[in-house]
């Protein structure tokens, strides 16, 4: 009886619709990963462990009330900021990037913390300012967003910086930022492109130029885009069949288990498979937006809305870079790509959505 009550309590906040969609995406990921990592079957076993831990994190976070999450927002943001400063001063350099901070027995990547800490902090700020919200509050929010984003971009880690800035922007937008301000920011952004171009690293500028004409360096910087687009196009309408992808199995596709797993999926399952995948992502996003719309507080609406729109950003950017319409920035395909830290971050966000859904009938006091 005690065990049954405990299991019922744990399962209570789980939204079955969202869980069904997530499970379907995870299963598609396993099927594709098995094919993509045929030469390294240990990755499939490792992904099982990653998912078991990620699901545990989701179930744990789902038990936490939005009120407690709101109280935790400032200290979590400040901790993430301090860790990012620590990375800049003492971080480990791997493959030319300073992204990890050694804690003795293990290393952590503090930029991943900011994917959750950023929307938490901004949602907390706008909740506190809801009754007296002024235009300068959006300026303060922009500063809260800009500081960690610049620290992450400096590592350099353009992909994570993009996701963190997107998560923060969605909170600011959902808080009621005027379209006039957005248009003004867009014009200012276009005007500042020459300055921003000069601030980019050489490899980042090369990625953008390669996007425009990948054939200029087909065996170097353009190789990733060329091979990925060949794989996507060769899948045709119905695909070549599971385990039959030649681009993947002949090792033409780079990073085929992680950032470019969508190319493997497209080659083997074709347009039909892509429609199924897109439908699942749209169902996940639609369900998340419904949860955000029914959230009981301003904080919960902003937080849950930002999290589910960040899922959209993950999927859009990954599919865009694999298809050759966006630069390669190192963003995984959510719930499908192999990975540990990013997967846990995504399931942490799902746990927050389910927590908001569980407490949707509570009224703010």
1-52 pLDDT, tens digit per residue, is: 545 554 455 556 678 899 999 999 999 999 999 988 876 777 888 899 999 9
Tokens 């506190």, residue?
A: 128
Residue 182, C-beta contacts closer than 8 angstroms, at least 6 positions apart: 173
In a domain, 5, yes or no: no
The CA distance from 29 to 265, in Å, is 9
Number of domains in the chain: 1
Q: Which of 95, 83, 51, 73 is nearest to 302 (CA)?
A: 73
User: Which range marks the domain in which residue 247 is found?
Assistant: 12-358
> Could you give the percent of the chain with pLDDT greater than 90?
47
pLDDT in tens, 130-154: 888 888 899 999 999 999 999 998 8
Token output for 151: 């620290």
Q: Return the higher-pLDDT residue of 218 and 48.
A: 48
Instruction: Please confirm whether the linkage preceding 24 is cis (ω < 30° from 0).
Output: no
Q: Is residue 364 in a domain?
A: no
> Measuring CA to CA, how many Å separate 189 from each of 181, 183, 302, 327, 350?
12, 10, 25, 18, 32
The CA R_g of the chain, rounded to the nearest whole Å, is 21
In a domain, 70, yes or no: yes
In a domain, 363, yes or no: no
Residue 2 lies in a domain: no
Residue at 283 is within a domain: yes
pLDDT the model gives residue 365: 41
Task: Give the per-residue pLDDT at 183.
Answer: 83
Q: In degrees rounded to 5, what are phi and psi of residue 94?
A: -135, 125
């Amino acid at each position: 009886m005690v065990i049954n009550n405990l299991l019922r309590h744990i399962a209570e906040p789980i939204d079955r619709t969202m869980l069904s969609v997530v499970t379907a995406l995870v299963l598609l990921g396993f099927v594709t990963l098995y094919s993509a990592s045929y030469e390294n079957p240990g990755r499939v076993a490792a992904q099982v462990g990653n998912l078991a831990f990620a699901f545990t994190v989701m179930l744990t976070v789902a038990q936490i009330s939005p009120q407690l999450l709101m109280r935790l927002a400032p200290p979590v943001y400040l901790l993430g900021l301090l860790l990012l400063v620590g990375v800049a001063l003492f971080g480990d350099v791997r493959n030319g990037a300073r992204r990890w901070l050694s804690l003795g027995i293990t290393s952590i990547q503090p930029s991943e913390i900011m994917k959750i800490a950023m929307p938490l902090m901004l949602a907390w700020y706008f909740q506190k300012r809801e009754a007296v919200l002024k235009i300068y509050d959006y300026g303060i929010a922009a500063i809260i967003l800009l500081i960690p984003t610049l620290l992450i971009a400096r590592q350099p880690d353009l992909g994570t910086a993009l996701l963190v800035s997107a998560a923060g922007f969605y909170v600011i937008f959902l808080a009621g930022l005027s379209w006039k301000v957005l248009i003004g920011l867009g014009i200012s952004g276009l005007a500042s492109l020459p300055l921003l171009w000069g601030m980019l690293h050489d490899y980042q500028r090369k990625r953008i130029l390669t996007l425009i004409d990948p054939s200029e360096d087909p065996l170097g910087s353009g190789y990733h885009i060329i091979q990925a687009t060949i794989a996507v196009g060769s899948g045709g309408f119905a695909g070549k069949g599971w385990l039959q992808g030649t681009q993947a199995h002949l090792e033409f596709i780079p990073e085929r288990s992680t950032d470019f797993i969508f190319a493997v999926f497209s080659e083997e399952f074709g347009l039909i498979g892509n429609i199924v995948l897109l439908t699942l992502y749209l169902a996940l996003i639609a369900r998340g937006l419904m949860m955000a719309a029914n959230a009981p507080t301003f904080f919960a609406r902003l937080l849950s809305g930002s999290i589910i729109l960040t899922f959209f950003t993950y999927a859009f950017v990954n599919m865009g870079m694999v298809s050759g319409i966006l630069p390669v920035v190192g963003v995984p395909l959510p719930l499908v790509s192999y990975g540990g830290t990013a997967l846990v971050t995504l399931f942490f966000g799902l746990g927050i959505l389910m927590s908001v859904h569980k407490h949707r009938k509570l009224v703010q006091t």
